[in-house]
């Protein structure tokens, strides 16, 4: 029951964040195909953020599926993650509207880094509750992807000041890394 | 559990998309009945999109009801569908605000086509997991409606450049085709 | 399962509608108490619509609780209700921003009437599925409130052209009539 | 079932309120770091409201978890709480955009006080239904925090007219007081 409600609340927040981001795609005033052109960077940043939020939802789903229980500490670690995810619409809009300009692109990386750290913290909190011998701890193993992602983001943020496309490339690379759902936590098809 | 959460997340996204579309119905500044008149095309495109999103929700509901299980692949196929559905508010607003002008009407068809293809893909992914001998595969059968819809959309998109009302007519026709919920997947009243 | 998802989707839509209405309460530009004054009619119309949507949610909850099952027909009757409810933010904003002017106040009544009719239809559809001997049919009985409300709305709409406060008074009266949750469907405290 | 749906609806509303507040963080027009500076008070008021809404969600979760049952009276007490919570985005935006000016800061306190009173009322309503000998009544005990918070808010509102930072300090103090989830209601890790 408790776990279910935390999942439902997180689903709600993530679903709303995804759809709020799409509000930045203001329908253009003209009805010409060319009026869509200025929307291209906004659209691309939306696609990137949609995929990243999709990854978070997916991994969150697998993580909670594997968790045995939650407590107040986990609820707050989860709210902490949701806080950083809630800054995605802002970060996405700022980067998209400024055509991936240097500072907004670096700022987007800061949001990504904070969210990745918050996810890591949530995972640690759940594992601590489940115990080091739990199926979850075993399934996560060394958690290479979880450790590499923040490192790549940490590189990407200053890299924007050299060339912002390095940063964007790194953001995309991390997304691709995670695109495959976390097979460690997905042992077999899950029944309803 | 797993299936339930994917359903809940999809419900959340679709519910928000429907209500975000209604935000385009800006309350007019005057309080005269005539001030409602310019809203007519926006309202009509809202009704059309509401019905189409309603159909998606309805069929999604029946599809998931019949599915035995989901896995990571299904989660992504579902997110892919939600991505295209998330462009409905944009497509609807652009078409409505421009009084069903040619390019926006064709663009709306592109969103419809992409969503239909994504739904087909989701269905295939679930059937592949359930197996060719599953009740779901049998219930879907040849899936005529699922195959005709993308064809009609593909016709409707270029048709907008001949006469946009042909396109709108085809969009409405596909909606009517699906309005009746998929009886193949609905064998008997479903208990809670 | 099926019933649960229809409830969840309706909850989502109603929750979003309620919170979307509050977006009309734009925070004023000044920081003086007097800057709140022009918001008064917007706030009052928000309170009225919040209560009415709360009543719908409450009754919907009790109705579905009592229903034995749902089918495709019920899903569409429910979507039809949600469509009219989705026009609440528009109707509320138009009436509030125009200080309960005649035409917007009458238009608000049209939305209320359509929603009441849609609720009645949903109820009929569920009772038809459950059967005339069902507990639900017995509990609803003659359904006086369900029959009086549309009548009062039908009176309130033209009455706005005589004196709009008659209409507002009738809207409030119907809300008070329903404020008490439908005891017919609530026989005892419901366990989780 | 009944309890579950009331939880789901509340989750939906709170999730939307949190994400609606973030819409006030308009992405600045420039792409300079300095363009973020005027957003600081808006951001800080967002953080405060996010934490407070997080506390409400958390406590609501624990309260409902412990409740044995709900009835129509509880549903309305819950809607009453959601009404006051729905004014958070307005209060937050007004306070943030006016850089914690006196009147908006006091007005924010009024919303906090009303929400705290509504929560207290909801709690009383549930305890009254569960009975004075219930586990919930025992767990709540004297409910010191629940009684101190409204007192502190009542002090904070007029204090804004002396020095608004006293008020803000008191709002933060109450949040810190509640930050620790209500251990009275959390006896052990809760399984799904």
Complex prediction ipTM: 0.89
Q: Where are the beta strands (DSSP E) in chain B?
A: 69-70, 190-191
CB B147 within 8 A of CB B19: no
Query: DSSP labels for A64-122?
Result: HHH--EE-HHHHHHHHHHHHHHTTHHHHHHHHHHTTT-HHHHHHHHHHHHHHHHHHHHH
SS3 D45: helix
What is the overall mean pLDDT for chain D? Answer: 89
Work out the angle between the directed axes of helices A164-179 and A144-159 (0-180°, nearest 10).
170
What pLDDT score does D189 carry?
A: 46
Alpha helices by DSSP H, D67-101: 72-85, 88-97
Alpha-carbon C109 to chain mean position: 11
pLDDT at B30 over 70: yes
Q: Give which of C7, C40, C54 to mutate to test D binding, by max D Cβ within 10 Å.
A: C54
Q: Establish if D2 touches chain A: CB-CB under 8 angstroms.
A: no
CA-CA distance, C179 to C171, in Å (whole number)? 12
CA-CA distance, B3 to B64, in Å (whole number)? 7
CA-CA distance, C86 to A6, in Å (whole number)? 27
What pLDDT score does A175 carry?
A: 94
- For the stretch C126-140, pLDDT in tens is 999 988 788 788 878
Chain D CA closest to residue C11:
D9
Average pLDDT over residues A67-73: 86
CA distances from A100 to A85, A155, C75, D22 (A): 19, 17, 44, 21
Beta bridge partners of B70: A190
CB < 8 Å to D14, chain B: none
- Cα–Cα–Cα angle for C123, C140, C133, nearest 5°? 90
CB < 8 Å to D69, chain C: 189-192
- For the stretch B71-108, pLDDT in tens is 888 999 999 999 999 999 999 999 999 999 999 999 99
Report the 10 Å Cβ neighbour count for B138.
11
The H-or-E segment that residue A190 falls in is strand A190-191
Average pLDDT over residues A109-131: 94
- For the stretch A32-43, pLDDT in tens is 999 999 999 999
Neighbouring chains of A at 3+ CB pairs under 8 Å are B, C, D
CB C78 within 8 A of CB C118: no
SS3 B31: coil
pLDDT at D183 over 80: no
* Structural tokens at position B25: 């119905």
What pLDDT score does C156 carry?
A: 97
What pLDDT score does C83 carry?
A: 97
Residue D149: pLDDT band (50, 70, 90) is very high
* Structural tokens at position A77: 């670690």
Burial D63-101 (b: 16+ CB within 10 A, else e): bbbbbeebbbbbbbbbbbbbbbbbbbbbbbbbbbbbbbb
What pLDDT score does D66 carry?
A: 85
SS3 D86: coil
* Structural tokens at position D97: 């955009």
pLDDT at C73 over 80: yes
Phi/psi of residue A191, nearest 5 degrees? -75, 160
Tokens 């069929």 belong to which residue? B59
Q: What are the residues whose beta carbons fall under 8 Å from the beta carbon of D121, sequence distance 6 or more?
A: D77, D80, D81
Share of chain A above pLDDT 90, in %: 65
Residue (of A173, A61, A69, A39) closest to A119 by Cα position: A61
Tokens 């800057």 belong to which residue? C35
Q: How far is B176 from chain A (nearest CA, A)?
A: 27
What pLDDT score does A135 carry?
A: 80
Chain A CA closest to residue C1:
A192
Q: What are the residues whose beta carbons fall under 8 Å from the beta carbon of C138, sequence distance 6 or more?
A: none
CA-CA distance, B123 to B64, in Å (whole number)? 9
pLDDT at C96 over 50: yes
Residue B189: pLDDT band (50, 70, 90) is very low
**Within 13 Å and on the Cβ side, how many CA atoms surround A146?**
20
Among C residues 27-66, those touching chain D with beta carbons less than 8 Å apart: 27-33, 36, 47, 50, 54, 57-58, 61-62, 65
Pairwise pLDDT comparison (A80 vs B67), residue with the higher score: A80
SS3 D25: coil
Q: Establish if C180 touches chain D: CB-CB under 8 angstroms.
A: yes
What pLDDT score does B185 carry?
A: 56
Q: How far is C106 from chain A (nearest CA, A)?
A: 31
* Torsion, CA B181, CA B183, CA B187, CA B192, rounded to 10: -10
CA-CA distance, C14 to B11, in Å (whole number)? 12
pLDDT at C8 over 70: yes
What pTM was computed for the model?
A: 0.91
User: Cβ contact (<8 Å) for A87 and D181?
Assistant: no
Residue (of A68, A70, A66, A69) closest to A187 by Cα position: A66
């Amino acid at each position: 029951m408790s776990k279910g409600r935390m999942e439902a609340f997180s689903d709600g927040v993530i679903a709303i964040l995804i759809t709020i981001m799409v509000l930045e795609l203001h329908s253009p005033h003209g009805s010409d195909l060319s009026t869509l052109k200025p929307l291209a960077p906004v659209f691309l940043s939306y696609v990137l953020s949609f995929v990243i939020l999709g990854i978070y939802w997916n991994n969150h789903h697998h993580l909670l599926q594997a968790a045995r229980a939650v407590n107040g500490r986990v609820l707050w670690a989860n709210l902490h993650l949701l806080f950083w995810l809630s800054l995605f619409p802002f970060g996405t809009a700022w980067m998209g509207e400024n055509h991936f300009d240097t500072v907004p692109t670096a700022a987007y990386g800061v949001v990504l880094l904070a969210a990745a750290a918050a996810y890591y913290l949530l995972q640690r909190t759940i594992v601590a509750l489940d115990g080091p011998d739990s199926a979850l701890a075993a399934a996560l193993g060394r958690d290479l992807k979880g450790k590499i992602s923040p490192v790549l983001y940490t590189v990407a943020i200053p890299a924007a000041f050299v060339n912002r496309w390095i940063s964007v490339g790194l953001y995309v690379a991390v997304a691709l890394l995670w695109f495959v759902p976390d097979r460690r936590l997905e042992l077999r098809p899950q029944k309803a």
